[in-house]
Structure formats: structure tokens, C-alpha cells
Chain A
């Protein structure tokens, strides 16, 4: 069996030989034709010609020769299979290799088609969405609560809900891994049906029970509750820690980033928490006669009983966009004594509901928060709420509108009718009707693979990072193959001093220690003002320039063997140019070896790119690659607590390189006639 195969290979060479003579006549005829045409036509047909040639090589490699042969030759042709065709057959007999091929094809589809479906905002970060574990429960209101909603409160990655009977529910990512606390483990003071008020902050929850006890739990590193020694914190009032308050006199309980406020019906307030983040916290804590308190990420604000809006002695909000009068430059000037009915705050902006059914937006608008929806005549907002970056409001006609950031659909929905109340989570919208039934939810359900330390979705970054990693790897391989083919062919074919010179150059390049050298080049690039795209292109070329040597040597060896064969002598005898023989006659015969080496060096390039990026010398953040996504995992806190941040990129990178290597290895195995002989 195997002897027969070897014979076949020899015979196929004879056929190839004949073809080449035919090809050659054909191309010469084309050339005379070309001279008549103008320049552009010749360039165009030149490209077409290259395309045709490459196609012919590939076709010949897999399908065998397609030329009409004489009657006598036909007899020989019947048993002939081209080496590559044999190789393909042999390849598909190996199960592991086929599995690897399927994995690789799926992965290519995933990273090159995926980005079309999963859009990514490269510069997006969100401190409130940091380090969230993979889950899909962030908008999953418990069934028992669905028809009995009194309130829903949420500031970041978890939400708390309260039923009319006073039972408390929690959903979302409730584990605080650094503090080692699970917020879903309620303190023993919280029993069924005894909660009067509840509100959620960034990493703590505060509840007031029907007995008047103020219960708080969660992280407590910055004075979120209880006695504290944290710098800049406003401590929780002693009467709340040890005593009780009258829950019937409480008008509002609200939590912010790491801060909490309780407003009593007589206008007095209890305010405490992280004063380092919310700068005017202490000032708000001294206020009396307060109707409502609201927190944005870095500011506290209050509405007094006379309808005045205040942020204390300093005005934190200036710009104004109104639903009625357009824009204005000063909030205090615009309000000018008008009565403020309600205020809600997002991350860096606020919405005010004024008398006369006017809605006013103020602050920094990064996500179209100022694009207040145009309501039909006679319709106006009666209740509003704000998430991290979006706003929702219910009108007097019972329609619910949303505006602002809508990446997860939390604001860009068609108006829901029949609404009476709306609650906004961080990235969610919960619409509730008059009988306290949940009628619609919009927004972020959760993250398939969690989020990283900057609040970015890891799944999205894996899709886009894979595209970058694969592109860098592929371009580097193409660059290195082109160099290797030229140098290998010339050196192998011409021999003598050309070979000597080129091989010495190859040796010099081969002895460059790769990783340190690439890191140093990266340092040099860093000193020049180049944009990220140019940097990436430079990295691709750099990888290619440093990794062609092995392939060049291999091609040289193959060409050396090929050039002794008869068809080369025949070509020479016909007076064909030497460079033409090297590239058009010999090269197609070594293309299988080149393909195998390219596969293996593709895996190599993926590894080097990701190593460089991992060390911070390749593609830089925020542009993701599988390598630099793991950069953040370089400490034990992340490795221990946030397993999803390193596990998923690692799996993808390892799967890609393993399957490429398996494919390349199998190809090399099936290509080597010796190894098939033995089996």
C-alpha cells in the first residue's frame, strides 16, 4: 500500500512537469497581449493573473492536474492522487485533528462574525458595574414579588424589592467577594413581612423594620453603617445604631454610592456614609426642613419643604436643558424661586420635575440624557426615576418613556402604556401598573462572562479581542511567510554566494532573542506620538520580521531538493528566466510544506502577541486582545476572587493555540511519507 503511494507521488511529478510547460506557453501568450493595453488595464489584469495563478496552485494541490492528456497518459493518470489530496484524506481520518479543525473554524466564525452582532464601545467604563460575576439574574424580579411591588431600589449590580406586606426580596449579583459578604444573607432582624423601607447602595443595604430598627449590612470599609474610623466618613447617628425611630414618621429612605439618608416627615434628616466620595455629605446632614434627598455618584442634593432645590453652599449643577424652554446656562438662575417637586439623579446628571409640569435636566450629559422625549400635547411626566445613565418617566396618561444611555435597551424602548409607577435599577427599568403588577422590564439582564475591573463586559471584549489577536497573528504570519518564501526560494535555488549571504542574514535574525528585543522595540515606539492603529500595525510587522527565519530555512531545504528534479532541467533547457523557475515552477511544489509551517507559526504568533500584550508591551488597553485582558489578572486578589476575569480569556486563547497546533502537527505528520510508512 505505502509503496504504491510513493510511486504515485513520483508519477504525479511527471504530470506536474507537463502542466508547467503548458502553463508557460499560456502565460507567454498573455504577456504579448498585455503589451497592447494601457497601464491601468495591465495592472488590473496583472492582479487577476496573480489571483488565477494562486487559484490554479490550490486547485492543482487538492484536485490534481486538470489538463487534457493523450490516450496513452490517461492510463497512468487513473491511479494518481496529488500529494495534497492524499494528505487531506489522511488528515480527515484522524479524529482529534478534525475536532481541532472544527473548533478552530467555529472560533474564527466567532471572532470575525461575532463583532457584527456584539457592538463594543472601546472607551466604555463603569465603576458601578465592576467585577460582576457571570449571571443572568440582574433583572429577574422574583415571582412572589411580581404582582405585589411596593418599591424597587438598586444602585449597582443587585436590586432589592419590597412587597406591600413588608417582605423583602433581593436579586442580581449579591456577593461582595472582597468583603466576603453575601448580601442575600439577611441579618436576623429582617424577618418575613416586617420591613417598612429598604434601599440599596453600591455595596450595602439599609432597611427600616416595622419595629423602627434601622438595619444595615454589606461592605463596611468606608463608613457605610455603624461606628466607623474611616477617613472622611460621616458616622451613622448613635440613636440609629442603638435605638429605634418611628417608622410611621419616616418619609424617605435613600442610599447612594456608599451613603445613606433618612428623611423624616418633620423635615429632619439622618445622613451618613462615605464623605470622601460624596463631597457635600456633611453639609446635607446638617439641613432641616427637608422634603427629599437624592444622591448622584459624587453629590448629594435636597429639596426643602418650600420647594427649593439645593446642593449646599456650592452649586454642583449648572447647565440646563428644559422640556419647555430649551437650554440655559445656570440652574439656580433658571429655577429662580420656582417650586421643585421631585429630583432624581443619575451618575453625573439630574432631572428635576418643576411646577407647571416642566422637566429640567442638568449636569454632564454623556449619553444623550438631555434628549428628553417629545410628549404629545397635554401629556406630562408625573413620576420620574434615574438609573446610572438613563432616565425613565411615567406620564399622566400612563405611558412610560425612557431616555439617556440605552446600550442594553434600558431607555430606548417603545412607550409602555398602562403604567402608574416606574423604578430604575442601575441599567434596568421596571414598569409597574396601578395594582402593583410588574408589566414590563427593560435593560441589562446580566453578563454571560461577568465584567472586568473597569466594569466592561468580558464576553464582548473576548469577541473583539479575539478579532484583534487573530488579525495580529494572521498578518504577522503573512508578513513572515512572504519574507521567508522570497529568501528561502532565492537562497535554495541559486545556491553559491547568494545562499551564503542570505543564510548568514537569516542566522543573524534567528539569534535575536525575541521577547526582550520586541519589548525594547515597544519602548522605542512608546517615545513617538503614534496612534493605537499605527502601533498595532507596527507590532504586526515587528512580529513578522522577527519570526521568518525557521520557515526560510525549511523552504531553502525543500527547494534544494526540488531543483535537482527533471522538470527544472526541462524548464532551464527551454530558456526560462531563473527567477521564474524559482517562483513559478519550484515554489508550487513546496507549497504544502509552507502551508504546514504557516499553520504552526500562526499559533506561535498568537502566543507571542498575547505574551507581549500580557506584559503590557503589545496592544494597549482599552483595545482588547486575549493577552492584555489577562493583564489585570496578574495579582492574587483577582485570581482568588474574580475567577471569571482570567478563566474565560485563558480558555479561548488556549483553545485557539491548542487546536492550531494539533492541526499543524497532524498536517506535518500526514505530509511526512516516512511517518505514513510506519503506520
Chain B
């Protein structure tokens, strides 16, 4: 098992390096020379300065000298900066915790994304719990009552559910719950002008988060219900189920103990993978509801051409995706011995 884990981790690391280099290379295609802009501004302000000198200075300060590979590893934190006098400088990259800075006040990216990150994780955990709480019973029910009228209705419902784009669902729900019924606020993180504290503030926050949460949960119902149903059907057709029934085990025990445990293997991996994938999926929701999360920060940065924030968050998304892959692989390995043998 240990060998399998190490192998997977090494492999994922390799993929991360390839992918991050790819992203870095694409990012470098943006025609944007920070050093040249800085140097030009200085020379314009003070005629005594030489452009070439200042340019070299800023290039070295920002770590923009050298070829693409050097810059890439410098950005990772594995290759040193060139000091201003030309000697070898310090390491200062991602690994050292330097994610770059935003054009907005020059704030460091790590600082900028701290609060939104909390919000996003908070919302995603809630959405996951809600979605699982609905989809698992529903999926089991459909699998057991397979082919019945109710199953067909749910099947059609789930197709409609996963065919609808998130933004259409969001618009419909805003119209229904916020405009027509007036139950929830249209967007925002908290009731404007409030000065709640403690538990009251938490309640207010939950109240404002309700609508995005409902939309997010609703959008994931379709796909997940189908998945649970499919794996449950698979499990119900196993020989052990037939044996259990033949032995006269109660039907509820057959379903919830024998079949459900077998169905759990793919579902566990699905849940982990899904939880991580909604990070990138919540870009849409956060923007529609003006929810201060990672997706909103990413979107705003893209809009304002705030390139370093974009790069850092892009890496974050890739990191999350790969971590998801790794966790899924490992979970499979733990649950299903056949896999770690064959690899």
C-alpha cells in the first residue's frame, strides 16, 4: 500500500509541474511587461535616469530576467532571484509563500484570498452536506423501485436538472424566491446596514447565503442522484444480494446493509471528487449572488487584468483538481484492493 501511495503522489507531483508550467507559459503570452512600465514611468519622472539601467533593476527586482524556465522555477521558489547587483539572490516564490501581488493597492495575493477562501469553503461544505442528504436517499429509492412510475418521474426530473445551466436555475430562483415571493435577498453577504453580533450575525449570514446554497444544491441534484441510482442498481444485481434474499434476510437489511455497502465504493470517490470540483463550479454562483468567495475574486481579477491574482488562483484551481484526483485514487486503493495490485 505504501508503495502505491508514494507512486501516486510522485505521479501527481509530476502532473502538477507539467500543468503549472503549461499555465505559466500561457500566462507569459500576455503581453505585459511590468518592469518596462515601471522603468518608463521612472524615466518620465526623472530625466537623469537611464532607461536601460532602471529596466534591468526592475526586471531583477520582479524576477523577470532569464528565460521561461528560469522564471518558472523562480516563481515556484526553486530558482533564486538575481540580486540587483547581478549576484545570486534569495529564493522567493510560491514555496516560500509569495503568491505575487494584486494591482489593487499592491496587496499580496495570499492576503487577498484569505477571507474569500473561508467563505467559499464554508458554502461548499454546506452545499455538499445538503446535496448528499437529498441525493443518497433519493438515489436508493429510485434504484429499489426501478422502472416504477415514480422512478421514471425522478429520472426525467434529473435529466432536466443536469441539463439546465447553473445561471438559468439561478435566474429562475432569484425571480421566484427573491422577486415574487420576497423570501430571500437577491444578492449580497449580509443584510445592508446591520450591526448584528454573535449568533444573530451568523443567522443573518445564513439567511443571505440561503438562496445561493439552494441553487447550488439544486444544480447538483440531477447528476448525483443518477450516479447513486446507477451504482445502487449495480450493487443490487450482485450475487450476494440474491443469496441474502434467498436466505430470507429482511428486505430493508438487504438494501441498507448488503447493497448499500457495495454501492458506497464509487459513491465515496464521487463525493470527494465532486466536493473539490465545485470549487471551480462556484465561480458562476458567487458572481451571480455577489458572494465574496474565491470565484468572485478570480472573476474580478480577470475583468481587471489583475494578472498575478489570476495566475495564483489558476494554480489554486489546478492544485485542488489534482489533490482531488489523488484523494480519489487513494480512496479507491484503500477500498478496493484489486486496484493497488494492478497498478
Contacts and interface: CB of A to CB of B under 8 A. Distances in A.
Nearest to B156: A96
B322 interface: yes
A241 B159 CA distance: 61
Given A513-B317, A524-B30, A639-B175, A658 B163 contact: yes
B168 A519 contact: no
A511 B165 contact: no
A553 to B, nearest CB: 14
> Which of B18, B167, B280, B314 has the most C-beta atoms of chain A within 10 angstroms of its own C-beta?
B167
A521 B26 contact: yes
A643 interface: yes
Interface residue tally on A, bucketed by range = 35 or more
B288 A520 contact: no
Contact of A508 (B19, B32, B147, B172): B19
B165 A610 contact: yes
Given A524-B29, A615-B287, A512 B318 contact: yes
Interface string A470-509: 0000000000000000000000000000000000000110
B27 A520 contact: yes
A650 B171 contact: yes
Interface stretch (B129-137, B192-200, B297-305): B297-305
B281 interface: yes
A607 to B, nearest CB: 5
B218 interface: no
B160 interface: yes
A610 B168 CA distance: 10
A679 interface: yes
B179 A520 contact: no
Interface in A499-537: 507-508, 511-517, 519-524, 526-528
Interface stretch (A64-72, A137-145, A430-438, A629-637): A629-637
B272 interface: no
Nearest to A656: B163
Interface string B162-182: 111111100110110011000
> Which of B18, B165, B179, B317 has the most C-beta atoms of chain A within 10 angstroms of its own C-beta?
B165
Given A511-B19, A512-B318, A646-B171, A640 B159 contact: no
B165 A657 contact: yes
B172 A650 contact: yes
A633 B165 CA distance: 14
Interface string A604-633: 000100110011110000000001001001
A506 B302 CA distance: 27
A661 B168 contact: no
Contacts of A546: none
Contact of A512 (B156, B165, B305, B321): B321
Interface of B: 15, 18-19, 23, 26-27, 29-32, 147, 156, 159-160, 162-168, 171-172, 174-175, 178-179, 186-187, 277, 279-281, 283-284, 287-288, 298-299, 302-303, 305, 307, 310, 313-314, 317-318, 320-322, 325
Given A512-B318, A646-B171, A658-B163, 12 more contacts: A511-B322, A520-B310, A527-B32, A614-B165, A616-B303, A617-B302, A639-B175, A639-B186, A650-B171, A650-B172, A661-B159, A661-B163
